[in-house]
Amino acid sequence: MDKLEVKKRAELWLSPDFDEETRSRVKELFDNDKELTESFYKDLEFGTGGLRGIMGVGTNRMNRYTVGMATQGLANYLKKQFPSTSLSAAIAYDCRNNSPFFAEIVANVFSANGIKVYLFSSLRPTPELSFAVRHFQCNTGVMITASHNPKEYNGYKAYWNDGGQVTAPHDVNIIEEVNKIKSVKEVNFEANPELIVSIGEEVDKIYLEKLKSLSISPEVIEKHNDIKIVYTPLHGAGVKLAPEFLNSLGFRNIIHVPEQDVNDGNFPTVVSPNPEESSALTLALKKAQDENADLVMATDPDADRVGIAVRNDEGELQLLNGNQTAAILTYYCLENLSRQKKLKGNEYIVRTVVTTHLLTTMAKHYGVEIFDVLTGFKYIAEIIRENEGKKTFICGGEESYGFLVGDFVRDKDAIISCGMIAEVAAWAKENGKSLYDLLLDIYSQFGLHEEKLLSITKKGKEGLEEIKEMMKNYRNNPPQKIAGSKIVTIVDYLTKQQTDTLTGITTPVNQHQSDVLQFFTQDGTVVSVRPSGTEPKIKFYFELRSDMENKAEYKTILKQLNNKYQTIINELRLF
């Protein structure tokens, strides 16, 4: 879009349809061509997961008007999808700047359209919003959050009546309705207060009781309830419910990081509130060192993901990645349900296609079915919905630190994850081990899997074009070998085809369409490439494997796999 067209779009926001503050800020942008372009060169896209963007004025920003238009489009779709039905929606929000304001806008627009609203009175975790949708039998739900994005961002996650984020066909149909809203004049902002119901602690109580029922070994917790656990919400929504849930399970030694218990959308104590990044856990690790704690847990701003640190064989605190945490939790569930003879043959687990295949190996060992889905927890929720009443969901996870146990919630849940991680720690202690020991036991039994994630940021309009070109090149000119091992299979989720490179035979892939490429080699290495759906990044996922006969081999084999990773990075010319 050229500068003239951008200015024409911006000038529309100077009309009386927009409030005075908005008009004033738009006028200021006319003195900054770059910012004006970034704010107006396109509409903030309502994607398959909702909205996410930088806050500010403009069509490409999160603000009162873009949120209102999205909500009006969603309301219009609900009326078409559920005719002659009394509609209802649940709304929650996290600690981000403007989150309460955006939640109020959503509530106002829904109620103005005759939709009853259950609005949380203060910030809550994303998984509790998922739970509330099901609890109140709502038609939809909206969570105001940008997860772990920088402080400039906010977002809008849309949920369906099963408590999961919207999937096909509703996702594309909602997008179509949202795109039909061409003017803020089409948005009904006038709230109907009689249709807005405030909810809070009464829902917390029910939610936590449901989660508590998922505990597998409560007697073990009772014996080891003094485990020292440092917990931090990273300024976010987990501040109340995560410690409360741990206490309800019986853990008595929860240590806080006071500076990070403060809800603050500016995230003053961290560069990024992302538990995937080691720097986010700096204060918690220091606290754990000072207190000689056994375990560290940190949840992201909307408390749907958790990062952990455990004591290694030298007594040092060591961060685990999302794949390792998922492996430990999955192993604990499968091993103990098997010991308790609770596996009846109709159980299953779920992993995303970029999550460790270690889960696949474990599922096969315990005779439990496993489903592979695209990246995004909404696809795990979709599998749960499709199998409801026919099969029993045990757990599911993704490499990006999201995990779920049980089906009360239909999104990743850091609250139940914190509780289960602590329970596994107690179980390991009962068996004379640490969580680190348990991880090495898993590697010894099922093979060492070392996973790496490399994200390359490409900001702005030019960055998006560059990412598209990179994906095009990988499709048209795929590598023949990776670290000396021949590529035997290429899976392209955009064309939904799997190619056997040895025979040239292609077979269809039974998944939703997505811009994801995977390369599988003869020696078991897997490299996956995908643009991020929520950030201006292209992501590379690496999985390297090796047999490991005993714990003593761990560090030697790990070093070999890390050297192999560096070889792959150099071959793909990522730096």
Render pLDDT for 350-398 as a digit per residue (tens, 0 to 9). Answer: 999 999 999 999 999 999 999 999 999 999 999 999 999 999 999 999 9
**Among the listed residues 429, 426, 376, the one whose alpha carbon sits nearest the alpha carbon of residue 404:** 376
Backbone dihedral angles phi then psi of residue 309, each to the nearest 5 degrees: -135, 140
Residue given tokens 């372009």 in the structure block: 37
Residues of the chain with pLDDT under 70: 534, 575
Residue given tokens 């899997």 in the structure block: 449
Residue given tokens 């900054």 in the structure block: 32
> Which residue among 39, 130, 147, 417 is the active-site one?
147
pTM: 0.94
Model pLDDT, residue 93: 98
Q: Look up the CATH number of domain 42-205.
A: 3.40.120.10
Backbone dihedral angles phi then psi of residue 300, each to the nearest 5 degrees: -80, 175
Q: Is 86 a catalytic residue?
A: no
Give yes or no on whether 42-205 and 223-443 have one common fold.
yes
Amino acid, single-letter form, for residue 482: I
Model pLDDT, residue 112: 98
Peptide bond into 169 cis (omega under 30): yes
* Fold adopted by 223-443: Alpha-D-Glucose-1,6-Bisphosphate; Chain A, domain 3 (3.40.120)
Spatial separation of the C-alpha atoms in residues 213 and 304, rounded to whole Å: 19
Model pLDDT, residue 536: 81
Model pLDDT, residue 572: 83
Spatial separation of the C-alpha atoms in residues 59 and 497, rounded to whole Å: 36
Which helix (DSSP H) or strand (DSSP E) does residue 330 occupy? helix 322-339
Model pLDDT, residue 510: 93
Q: How many residues does the chain have?
A: 575
Spatial separation of the C-alpha atoms in residues 548 and 438, rounded to whole Å: 14
Model pLDDT, residue 534: 64
Domains of the chain, by residue range, sit at 42-205, 223-443, 448-572
Class of domain 448-572: alpha beta
